[in-house]
Amino acid sequence: MTAITTYLKSNVNTPFFAVVGDIDYANIKSKLSLAGLDVIRLSEYCSADDKRPNLDNLYEQLQTLDVNFNGKQVVVLGVGEYLALCGDSVANNTLTELKDLRIGTAKAVLLLRGVTNIVRDIQRDDAHRFDNRRVHYADNTDTSISVSFVGTDVALTAPSGLQTLLQEFENGATGNLTVKSGMAFPKAIIPTYSINSAYDGVKIKAPLLQLSQQALTDSQWGELLSNIELLSQKQDISLIKYDDWRCFIRLKVNGTDNGYLKYVLDRTDIFDYFKHNVLNTIIDIPHTDSRFNIFYDERKALIKKFSESDLAEFVKENQRNTNDALYKLTDQKAVERRELVSLFSILDKDKVSARIQEAYPSLHDYLNLYTFTDPKVSVDFRKLLTEYFDSYKWQKVCNIIDDDFVTMVERLALERPYGSLDTRQNVIKSIGETETLLFWLDALGVEYLALIQALCRKQGLTLRVHIARAELPTITTQNNDFYYKEWRGDKAPKDERLDDIKHGEASKNYKPLDMPIYLADEITIIEDIIEQAKTQLALYNYKKILLVSDHGASRLAVIKKQDEKYNADTQGEHSGRCCKEFPDYDLPFASVENGFIVLANYGRFKGSRAANVEVHGGASLEEVIVPIIELTLANPDTRIELDKSKVIYANPINHEWAKVVLFSKTKLSNVILSVIETKRQYSGVQIDNTHYVIQTDIRRKGNYHADVFDGDNLIGKIEFTVQSKSGGGTGFDDELEI
């Protein structure tokens, strides 16, 4: 300003060059206005909004300032920036002409940005005349101005015309300026960009966004360019919409703390592939990769809102590598749960079993050993039931039938040990109806008791299981009196979902039917029924829920596909498991009850409709034995733990086997320890108010896992290590018997 003030008072009759940068432009412009200088804008010399300014008219006006207004003082804006667009040659020639332009007694200050080097070159060439009386440089003459020229046919909202751009310059704008114009400035000193598409504009305004033009559609790029601030907005992972390209863009720009999602984004350059890649990238990551477990959990959280059809696509693609496919599945959708069940028919059962503990805990719970403890049942029969249904469940899930098991079924078909059980009606009568709600889940057999046991523990429920027998034949019409006639208390509507599945009415969901994938849906139904029971109890509508069924069902009888010698004229029905009584039949595995011939082996009468899911009507143990389950709210203080150390010592040489001592501040009535590794159960003895001792026959050192039960209730899980009492392990390595 000192240099300018000196010029204004001098007798110099040519313009003054005030060379400034972005930092000083607005300040100097304001001070000149306050000093009384009139403003001349280069933009006023454009004959149309997208025409170049007429410099000759500017020269003429400057030359005639003293004619019309003696001593006129003006500041000229926009010249430097415009010449910076025009390029070195035009800028040099124009500024040289302005340097020598005679303006008489008038004074004209050219406030110049963007042409510092051009002015210095001119001054160097004419240092004698073009000295500090006529030119001065601010301390910082840097400018950040750049211009993006949008093609006139690009569907993008932007300021229009070169005249508008010059006005922006004159107002002191900095940074990248966007203008819609047909002008071209190929020799510009300042950076210029041609935007022939919205994509070009985004790349200019967001150079760090490394995406190809194919990443979005033209209209999406256009919206992004018009709302470039989208790039600065963080994306909440829990609110991701995988069909919203804005989410994709924000994640690409701002990143994410979710490691799996970051991995996917690094490998996804086109929005249309985003959802697909979130679902399926896990397929290509080996389960042995050190990152896999973390990625698995992170992906599981991401796909909660995905649909069944989305996951169906993933399941199909995941089948490319059968051995590794097991590790990629979750239990979030029915289609995945069914696929996990199907793998038992394809892969090694121990491998699948180990994986489902993480991937599908409810299926793992279903397959857990259930120990029958009903004191009304003989010890020998309880032991038989425990072993029988453990074997039955594994054959069902693996979709096989073992010859030795068939031999046992045929032996039991002759012995019919279920006859020692009390009837369902008698058991229900002994329980009572006061403050009790009856749930009838059609076709609920005892095979589901381990699952129900685990669900009750998770839901905070206690259960008491009574074992009873259904009436023969095991069809609903012979077993519904307890619900319709005998129960006088409150009852929920009859639930037939399990039975519908077993009859194949929903078989469209279970293609192919040569695998028991419907088991996943059975588990879901039981989860739902236990949730309903918990709700009723939590609302204190009832003190007890009584969960009962009419009969069970058999998968193995379907797999066996064994036709008996009598054909359809015997009026075979119920998939051939029973038929109306007829004379002179010769079937050692059948009995006659209630006017029906009932098969207790895995045969079926010829000519009946062959079942493809499960059957009932016969007298195999899985059809005839039913649970009556009492559910109540659990004591929240029930907690079980090892007393003191997790290390248990034993001395095999002296036949001192591992002895487990448990602590519980709640009194327990029937402690049972079920050790996973040995598949054996051990009863506990109370030794004081809070401690229980369980003597095992474990003879091997190692790590062990066990479920702790109080009667039918799973109340805890423990881990313990068995070591040699001598400390050296003597005797353990030779003890191979468990």
Q: Both tokens of residue 301?
A: 């959280």
Find out whether 242 and 213 touch, Cβ atoms under 8 Å: no
Following DSSP, what letter does each residue of 316-340 receive, concatenated?
HHHTTSHHHHGGG--SSSHHHHHHH
Q: Given pLDDT bands bounded at 50, 70 and 90, which one contains residue 728? A: very low
How far is Cα 109 from Cα 573, in angstroms, rounded to an integer? 108
- pLDDT above 90 covers a percentage of the chain that reads 70
Burial letters 109-142, b for 16+ CB under 10 A, else e? bbbbbbbbebbebbbeeeeeebeeebbbbbeebe
Q: Is the dihedral of CA 676, 681, 687, 690 positive or negative?
A: positive
For residue 512, say if its preceding peptide bond is cis, omega within 30 degrees of 0.
Answer: yes
Q: Rounded mean pLDDT of 145-152? A: 90
- Structural domain 637-724, CATH architecture: Sandwich (2.60)
At a CB cut-off of 8 Å and minimum separation 6, what does 37 contact? 73, 74, 75, 107, 109
Q: How many CB atoms lie within 10 A of CB 705?
A: 12
**What is the pLDDT, as a whole number, of residue 155?**
66
Mean pLDDT of the region 615-642: 91
Residue 460: burial class (beta carbons within 10 Å; 0-12, 13-18, 19+): middle
pLDDT digits (tens, 9 = 90+) for 23-65: 999 999 999 999 999 999 999 999 999 999 999 999 999 999 8
- CB contact burial 343-368 (16+ within 10 A = b; e otherwise): bbbebeeeebbebbeebbebbbbbbb
- The predicted-structure confidence for 270-318, as pLDDT tens digits, reads as follows 999 999 999 999 999 999 999 999 999 999 999 998 999 999 999 999 9
∠ CA(109), CA(114), CA(120), 5° rounding? 75
One-letter amino acid identity for 606? K
- How many CB atoms are closer than 10 A to CB 59? 15
**DSSP, res 642:** E
Please give the sequence-ordered ranges of beta strands (E in DSSP) within 152-293, or none if there are none. Answer: 176-180, 192-195
**Each residue's pLDDT tens digit, 487-536:** 999 999 999 999 999 988 655 666 656 889 999 999 999 999 999 999 99
Three-class secondary structure of residue 215 per DSSP: helix
- 147-156, 189-198, 355-364, 506-515: range with lowest mean pLDDT: 506-515
| Interacting residues of 728 by C-beta distance below 8 A, sequence separation 6+ | none
Least confident of 167-171, 220-224, 573-577: 573-577
Q: List residues bridging with 19 in a β-sheet.
A: 112, 137
DSSP conformational letter for 655: T
Residue 217: partners with Cβ closer than 8 Å, 6 or more residues away:
none
Cβ 128 vs Cβ 134: under 8 Å? no
Give the per-residue SS3 of 422-477: CEHHHHHHHHCCCCEEEEEECCCCHHHHHHHHHHHHHHCEEEEEEEEECCCCCCHH
First to last CA, the chain: 100
- All CATH 2.60.40.10 domain ranges in the chain, comma separated: 637-724
How far is it, in rounded angstroms, from Cα 277 to Cα 259?
14
Task: Find where tokens 């929240």 sit.
Answer: 636
